[in-house]
Structure 1
Amino acid sequence: MNLSLFDQFASPIFLGIPLIAIALLIPTLLLPSPNNRWINNRILTIQTWLISSITKQIFLPVNIPGHKWALMLMSLLLYLMTINLLGLLPYTFTPTTQLSMNMGFAVPLWLATVIIGLRNQPTAALGHLLPEGTPTPLIPALVIIETISLFIRPLALGVRLTANLTAGHLLIQLIAMAAYALLSMAPVVSALVVLVLFLLTLLEIAVAMIQAYVFVLLLSLYLQENV
């Protein structure tokens, strides 16, 4: 039972090609690209409005030098959101359930924010390791604690995204198996379980979008501390 549940998180291979590679490429093909016309279609208009609104919301607390990251972080947001939503379709694979991939996004971006802080304002960046007004006897312990919390940040980013999506996929599969098992024994109960499954799917759609937003939002907050 456990193996059949967790098999969905192993990248399938078809004709020697790992499908995770296809799953990583498809989102870039689905997003419409702008054109040179003055009047775009409705999809591009809605997309532009949403991207503009979310960009303003995320970068509102970020200083002006950090606005250079807007294009990269918004591209990452759209990419993660598309991957998460496509993973809810039947017979698909969700690459963001792999901790290695999420850490591959989190570690370089977090490290870039730290390097920017050490290069542009080394005193302020190192000052985050020791809060102002700390009693002298607590200084060594606080420096160690703050250093550990600094290095845990990328791990927290990757684990949060992986755990939320993995838990949602497992819960959907468990409820779907329960609905199928009850179909012959108790059709009414099975119909109620299917209703719960539908509501859970709506919740997972919201979680897929929110987790991508939280991932990028936390990166912007890390950036704000170092610009």
Structure 2
Amino acid sequence: MLEVNSLKVKYGRAEALKGVSLTVGQGKVVAVLGSNGAGKSTLLKAISGLVPVSKESSIRLNGEEISGLPPDKIVAKGISYVPEGRKIFPGLTVRENLRIGAYLRQDKKGIEEDMERCYELFPRLKERSNQRAGTLSGGEQQMLAISRALMSKPKLLLLDEPSMGLAPVLVERIYEKIAQIREQGVTMLLVEQNANLALTISDYVYVIANGEIKLQGAAKDFLRERDLVKAYLGS
């Protein structure tokens, strides 16, 4: 589904990504692991069109080149991004946040049906449908950020550090829901520092350090090589 080749991103003179290549197959969950500053979030922002990439970089979705497209066009192609730190709209209600996730859609009935599906996935959001998003707990805001992304009916869901800043019990709950989303057939590219969580839900894993892919392989193999992974994650 997704093919990234020779992806390079610079911030000024600093090279954040140095020719990263990876693939995400249809219906699969692929994890990108790495420590702070490794280039994980930059990778997702580049795929989403939020940061410029070099001319030799290639990002293809179902065979179509999308590098260089503006973010709204990339969403229209079927990629939805759940950013680090959630980035919900605090002054709007839960329902209004969800409707923003469907801003490119015109099928009113389908939008309402998908909103109900999000409420089924995260019942807490239904209870707080008319509550301002800024008053939600951190875990509830993460639920909202994921649901907002799902409202665009993505072919590929990008998740940036979904466990960040959450209590362990909430992290487990969020990952249970991510597993349910996977069961619904949604393809995902997941960025995480929490290797244990990512490995339990993923099919394939890339380890990134200093803007380069250092290791890759099936998640089940990485579960047997935790010391090797820790050497690159620094923990």
**Fold shared by both chains (TM-score > 0.5):** no
- Larger Rg over CA atoms: 1
Bigger fraction of residues in strand: 2
Quickly name the TM-score band, shorter chain normalised: under 0.3
Bigger fraction of residues in helix: 1
TM-score, structure 2 as length reference: 0.27
TM-score, structure 1 as length reference: 0.27
